């Protein structure tokens, strides 16, 4: 085998999930060979088939739990990886409060098992998918990377704890090359409409909820608060296209291939969009009117929240290229072509989705 194949072979944990599947497409487009590790508890094997349809390359799937140390050891014996993108974990905010121990076990213990297996195999280039939730709700926007940790739920705290663990690891062993990507609100879908986001049950985030209202599977959207100190009174967030996030992972992988140490970096557009702006853009994209009900503010919601994305451009050579209208067009194309997700089945009655990301 060409020795360069080993440096191009990348392990993608959670690669059958929303962000993971798009990351695989971006990796293949950049000349890498992704191998997906996913339990499929929340990922979808059909996403891997769609990746093959898009790219002409079918990623290998290793179906196992990220916490399974023996399976990880066998995986690293079977493959020589040039690096790892770690996206596997639980992420539903509602569930994280109800069942925090599962989040600590999967997100913390799973990462620990992975890093131990990597170290034992001599693979020390890691890109960790973190989250802007590490900043909490009170950070002033635009939020720089040196803003303090202030997560308000167990999910965000697990992300902050993993970052701290990785920083301690790098401090103790300078052979490690690590990047932690704090992405803001990933939305959209691949332009082909073949892969995208399909949460089980009631969506937790604005864009998939909008999509389901537009397609007719939900009657209306509730806007939580119209009296914030923003231009139109609704909350402002930094929405970033999922393919920009995926390409950010590729840029970070290139960074860790050449730079030792640890880098904490935001992935966002550096601009905020209000709820009403997103609704208006989605109505243009879909050609459909969105029924809106106004509800009260939700506890803990910040009025405005967006990234200082300058460090990503300076250190990774990355910047978000796709705007809000493109996010909405791509989301709608995915929703229209896949009204019930990958397998054609209707959404379940679950209230939240702990998904790979």
Number of C-beta neighbours around residue 212 at 10 A:
20
How far, in Å, CA of 150 to CA of 138, rounded? 8
| Residue 155 is a catalytic residue | yes
For the chain, the three-class secondary structure string (H helix, E strand, C coil) is CCHHHHHHEEEEECCCCHHHHHHHHHHHHCCCEEEEECCCCCCCHHHHHHHHHHHCCCCEEECCCCCCHHHHHHHHHHCCCCEEEECCCCCCHHHHHHCHHHHHHHHHHHHHHHHHHHHHHCCCEEEEECCHHHHCCCCCCCECCCCCCCCCCHHHHHHHHHHHHHHHHHHHCCCCEEEEEEECEEECCCCCCCCCCCCCCCCCCHHHHHHHHHHCCCCCEEEECCCCCCCCCCCEECEEEHHHHHHHHHHHHHHHHHCCEEEEEEECCCCCEEHHHHHHHHHHHHCCCCCEEEECCCCCCCCEECECCHHHHHHHCCCCCCCHHHHHHHHHHHHHHCCCCCCCCCCCCCCCCCCCC
Residue of 32, 135, 155, 209 with catalytic role: 155
Residues with catalytic roles: 155
């Amino acid at each position: 085998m060409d020795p360069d194949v080993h440096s191009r072979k990348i392990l993608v944990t959670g690669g059958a999930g929303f962000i993971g599947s798009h990351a695989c497409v971006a990796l293949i487009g950049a000349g890498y060979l992704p191998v997906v590790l996913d339990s499929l508890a929340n990922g979808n094997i059909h996403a891997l088939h769609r990746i093959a349809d898009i790219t002409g390359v079918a990623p290998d799937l290793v179906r196992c739990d990220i916490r399974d140390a023996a399976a990880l050891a066998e995986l690293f014996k079977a493959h020589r990886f040039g690096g790892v993108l770690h996206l596997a974990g639980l992420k539903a905010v509602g569930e994280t409060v109800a069942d925090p121990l599962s989040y600590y076990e999967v997100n913390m213990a799973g990462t620990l098992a992975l890093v131990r297996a990597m170290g034992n195999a001599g693979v020390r280039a890691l890109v960790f998918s973190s989250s802007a939730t590490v900043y909490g709700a009170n950070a002033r926007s635009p939020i720089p990377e040196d803003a303090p940790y202030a997560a308000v739920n167990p999910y965000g705290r697990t992300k902050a704890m993993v970052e701290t663990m990785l920083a301690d690891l790098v401090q103790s062993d300078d052979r490690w090359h690590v990047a932690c990507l704090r992405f803001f609100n990933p939305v959209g879908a691949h332009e082909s409409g073949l892969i995208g986001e399909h949460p089980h049950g009631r969506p937790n985030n604005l864009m998939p909820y909008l999509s389901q209202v537009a397609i007719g599977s939900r009657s209306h959207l509730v806007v939580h608060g119209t009296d914030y100190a923003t231009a139109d009174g609704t909350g402002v967030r930094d929405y970033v296209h999922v393919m920009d996030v995926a390409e950010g992972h590729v840029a970070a992988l290139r960074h860790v291939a050449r730079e030792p140490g640890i880098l904490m970096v935001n992935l966002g557009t550096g601009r905020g969009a209000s709820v009403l702006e997103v609704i208006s853009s989605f109505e243009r994209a879909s050609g459909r009117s969105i029924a809106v009900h106004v509800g009260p503010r939700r506890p803990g919601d910040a009025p405005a929240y967006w990234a200082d994305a300058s460090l990503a451009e300076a250190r990774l050579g990355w910047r978000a290229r796709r705007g809000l209208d493109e996010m909405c067009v791509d989301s709608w194309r995915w929703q229209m072509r896949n009204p019930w997700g990958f397998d054609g089945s209707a959404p379940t009655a679950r209230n939240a989705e702990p998904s790979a990301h």
